[in-house]
Amino acid sequence: MELGEALRTTGAVRDYTADAVSDESLYRILDTARFAPNGGNRQAWRVVVVKDPGVRRAIRDCYLPGWYGYLAQVSAGLVPWAVVTDEQAMAAALGRAASVAEAAAAGPGGFAEHLDAVPAMLVVLADLRNLATLDRDIGHYTMVGGASIYPFAWSILLAAREEGLAGVLTTMVVREEAAVKTLLHVPDELVVAGVLALGHPVRQPTRLKRRPVEAFTTLDALDGAPFAQP
């Protein structure tokens, strides 16, 4: 597959067949993904491949509270846990998360409720000692450190395409990070960056839909003219 095609078709896939993902395949994926760009080539990522059924169920249980809170906020028309948001509306929405959980329990469940059954589960960690977090002291939400971690996670998803696999990166378990770290014996200097689920997709990914370049790119200033195709 050409790179351009891979970039345009590697989306978030949460529906997998029952086929297992072999250790050989996982190793090849990680062996390719380790070449992801990162600050100072410090490679501040760590990965835990989770196979134990009990640990998988515990990670699922850490996922669900955040998921139901997420759904409650979306149903209220909010961007979940946005840094700039209506705090009162968010609190009211989160107060309805329990009813969302009850409704989910009455149904067959989806990706979240069956997270423990995904063919391959990888927990991605970030070593805070090795991240040059340049916006650490600016006084607002920090993003820079992730620039040395999330390209690695994206590289895993791209490398998985070559193996005929697909997957998704989810950060929902970060809402219960302390429990996840205890579960996986993670020391204080490392944090949870997310969970990657991988498997053989029920449907192969197709072309994704995104806003055009002109919708998010301007010339010379944020309020400048749209950068348009010549």
Report pLDDT digits (tens) over 154-203.
Answer: 999 999 999 999 999 999 999 999 999 999 999 999 999 999 999 999 98
Report pLDDT digits (tens) over 3-26.
Answer: 888 888 898 999 999 999 999 999
Domains with residue ranges and CATH for the chain: 3-53+113-215 (3.40.109.10)
Count CB atoms within 10 A of the CB of residue 171.
16
Q: Which residue has the tokens 């515990």?
A: 58
First to last CA, the chain: 28
Taking the complete model, does pTM exceed 0.85, yes or no? yes
Kindly tell me the number of DSSP H helices and DSSP E strands found in the chain.
7, 4
C-alpha–C-alpha distance, residues 1 and 36, integer Å: 19
Structural contact between residues 160 and 29, judged by C-beta atoms closer than 8 angstroms: yes
